Amino acid sequence: MGTFIARRMLYSIPVIIAASFLVFFGMSLVTDPLSQLRLIPNLSQETLQNIIDRKHLDDPIIVQYGFWVKDMIFNQFGTTAIGDQPIWPDLQRAIGNTLQLVLISEAIAVVLAVILGVLSAKKQYSFFDYTTTTISFFGFSVPIFWFALVLQALATTFFLRTGIRLVYTFGQSSPDATNVFLDRVQHMILPIVTLAYVNVATYSRYQRASMLDVLHSDYIRTARAKGLNERTVTMKHALRNAMIPIVTIAALNFGAVLGGAVITETIFAWPGMGKFFIDSLVRGEIYTLMAWLMVTAIAVILANLAADILYGWLDPRIRYD
Amino acid sequence: MTDQQVRTDEALETETTRTALDSVHLEGLEVKSLTQWQLARRKFFQHRLAMTSLVVLTFIFLAALFAEFVAPYPFDTPNVPDRSLPPTLEGFHIFGTDKIGRDYFSRTLYGTRTSMYVAFIVAGVSTVVGIIVGGIAGYYGGKVDNILMRVTDLFLTLPFLAILLVLSSFLGAGNPIRVAFILAFLLWTSLARIVRGEFLSLREKEFVEAAKVLGASDNRIIFRHILPNIAGPIIVNATLVVATAILIEAALSFLGFGIQPPFPALGKLISDGQDALTTQWWLATFPGLTIVLIALCINFIGDGLRDALDPKQRIK
């Protein structure tokens, strides 16, 4: 197991290098730092020359790439072009805040989806099955940002009508909170619900399909023929195999979830990676954007590694050698 | 048995069958064979939800297409005396008006037109790209396949929305066509994978082998023999891409990186209403509901089409 993880980590290195190529050269295809800098009014020639020297902007692109990689590895992604501010402290804080949201919402989404998927597969074509199918169709069809706005409007209206503060619709914490933990939870509920709901719709469809596949397979018939009770058959024999697709989907989807956080965090003013991304984008800060993209790429690679480890736990036939 | 005899036997057999069929005809029990497409059409017509959705969507589509004639007010002309009206039948402001008196029903109609315009371009372009990439990878296999599919995987794991935002921010979106092409640039991947899978399996089938033996060119095999066989999954996927494109375009425009004024867009209408969520709830509600309705209809149609055209891929 240890060697497997170590080897997988080694295999990830070329992928990360490829990602860094893609991020850097992709970015220089769509824009270049100089033209972004020229958009800023009142930037003196001296400052501009200073930035060009510091970021080696008059060197060939491949040399610039080298300096960028060097900065990334040895200087924690280096500094912003304008103002020479270190990137990492802000990004680190944003990553922490986003992980709180994303990990909790993914966990909720997977657990809920497994429950819904298994139940509707067990009761195929029942009223429950049709209801969850219809609801998941709504899940595919409701834009995330609009759903977030509706939640926000409902929560605000509820507060204005009753005066009871159930959840907050803005920010991460209130300055005058007495119970810090409860206050944080109240701030997190709406963003988490928003992030989870689309994924529940998608994941539960996959879970249902794979559960149906497994339930119709021979070894399940054997298990029933042995006289095992239905509960054991479902929970011990069928479920573990039926969870392999959802693990794959959830891992592959990790990048999309981080992207989805952009919308959710913007609407709920959550100081995470999404908001960090939009702020950098508005300011045209290419170096922070590239740092963001690299962090996301590494997160996706790690999520896939986690999925590979989970496979072995779900299906003992999968060996790590 | 000589060849001659076999032939006579066959002729005899056909003769008998024909008479049998004739007698069936005589009894009025006509046996009509249906082509694949006729079968699919019949199945689709029986799918009630999909048919209803098709009718509703056609209705919305036509209303949006002829917005100049359908909309009671122009898109962008302020009318201050009628400002901030909640939905009312008076003056036909059924979606209300905003704070400078523009009719939101008319604005929603024009916005829907832009959304559909973008979505159809996205579906068209991404389908062509997906077929080309998937087809080349699946038909030629080997190294080409490996490279193309790694690229596709890379696109699939990218934080989609982030890349989209970077592209539209730096390339400058704003007008519908640019937004459409940026979306299409990222939305071809799922189709490419489907097409590749189908090509891989069909390439080994006997009828393709037969065509090859007869000396058909690669082009002919791809376009005349394989593609018609996978029209089902392609159509289903294109339909679903329309829904995805509408949702993503709305999100982009909402964040301010998609379609910009003077072009009308549903996402922009919602973000205009965002500041007055509780006081002027109708501003964000109706454009949002329109998006939901359109996406829901398209998803139902896609489901019906999948049932009709693509029994293999059906979600059980």
Q: Residues near A255 by Cβ (< 8 Å), separated by ≥ 6?
A: A296, A299, A300, B157, B158, B159, B160
A150 interfacial to chain B (CB closer than 8 Å) = yes
Q: Count each helix (H run) and each strand (E run) in chain A, helices first.
A: 15, 0
Query: ipTM higher than 0.90?
Result: no
Q: Which of B153, B189, B154, B147 is nearest to A23 (CA)?
A: B154
* Domains and their CATH numbers in chain B: 52-309 (1.10.3720.10)
pLDDT at B312: 56
Residue B1 burial by Cβ neighbours in a 10 Å radius (0-12, 13-18, 19+): exposed
Q: Which of A238-247, B10-19, B90-99, B113-122 has the lowest mean pLDDT?
A: B10-19
Are the C-beta atoms of residues B163 and B186 closer than 8 Å to each other?
yes
Q: Which of A39, A299, A145, A278 is nearest to B168 (CA)?
A: A278
Residues 170..199 of B with a Cβ closer than 8 Å to A: which? 170-171
Query: Rg of chain B's alpha carbons, rounded to an integer?
Result: 26
Amino acid letter, residue B43: K
B56 interfacial to chain A (CB closer than 8 Å) = no
- What is the average pLDDT across B89-113? 82
Q: Which long-range contacts (CB under 8 A, 24 or more apart) does A38-45 make?
A: A39/A284, A40/A82, A40/A284, A43/A82
User: What is A239-295 written as a DSSP string?
Assistant: HHHHTHHHHHHHHHTHHHHHHHHHHHHHHHT--SHHHHHHHHHHHT-HHHHHHHHHH
Give B11's pLDDT tier (boundaries 50, 70, 90).
Answer: low
Quote the CA–CA distance of A86 and A66 in Å, as a whole number: 19
Quote the CA–CA distance of A190 and A148 in Å, as a whole number: 8
The interaxial angle of helices A273-283 and A88-122, nearest 10 deg, is: 130
How far is residue A145 from each of residues B146, B160, B291, measured CA to CA in Å? 37, 16, 12
pLDDT at B18: 58
The label of the residue with tokens 């009630």 reads: B48
Q: Residues near A111 by Cβ (< 8 Å), separated by ≥ 6?
A: none
Share of chain B above pLDDT 70, in %: 87
| Better pLDDT: B311 or B259 | B259
**Which residues of chain A have a CB within 8 Å of the CB of B288?**
143, 146, 149-150
Interchain CB distance below 8 Å, A293 and B167 = no
Quote the CA–CA distance of A277 and A97 in Å, as a whole number: 13
pLDDT at B146: 86
Quote the CA–CA distance of B107 and B110 in Å, as a whole number: 5
Residue B21, pLDDT above cutoff 70: no
Q: Which of A205, A16, A189, A50 is nearest to A114 (CA)?
A: A205
pLDDT at B125: 95
Interchain CB distance below 8 Å, B270 and A152 = no
Residue B135, pLDDT above cutoff 50: yes
- What is the average pLDDT across B124-131? 94
Residues 269..298 of A with a Cβ closer than 8 Å to B: which? 277-278, 281, 289, 292-293, 296
Quote the CA–CA distance of A259 and A300 in Å, as a whole number: 11
Distance from CA of A312 to the nearest CA of B (A): 22
Quote the CA–CA distance of A255 and A292 in Å, as a whole number: 12
pLDDT at A197: 86
Q: What is the dihedral of CA A273, A279, A281, A284, to 10 degrees?
A: -130
A39 interfacial to chain B (CB closer than 8 Å) = no
Return the bridge partners of A86, or none.
Answer: A79
Are the C-beta atoms of residues B183 and B249 closer than 8 Å to each other?
yes
Quote the CA–CA distance of A264 and A253 in Å, as a whole number: 16
pLDDT at B295: 94
How far is residue B221 from each of residues A83, A143, B135, measured CA to CA in Å? 60, 41, 11
| Better pLDDT: A48 or B305 | B305
pLDDT at B30: 60
Mean pLDDT of chain B: 82
Q: What is the dihedral of CA B264, B265, B268, B272, to 10 degrees?
A: 50
> What's the start-to-end Cα distance of chain B, in Å?
51
Amino acid letter, residue A78: G
Query: Rg of chain A's alpha carbons, rounded to an integer?
Result: 24
Find the DSSP H helices in A126-243: 127-141, 144-162, 180-215, 218-225, 230-232, 239-242
Residue B8, pLDDT above cutoff 60: no
The label of the residue with tokens 């981080």 reads: A258
Which parts of chain A register pLDDT below 50?
Answer: none
pLDDT at B2: 47
- What is the average pLDDT across B301-305? 88
Share of chain A above pLDDT 90, in %: 15
Give B314's pLDDT tier (boundaries 50, 70, 90).
Answer: very low
Q: Which of B126, B152, B92, B109 is nearest to B245 (CA)?
A: B126
Interchain CB distance below 8 Å, B160 and A255 = yes
pLDDT at B58: 93
> What's the start-to-end Cα distance of chain A, in Å?
9
Percent helix / strand / coil, chain B, rounded to 5: 75, 0, 20
Nearest CA in chain A to B273: A149
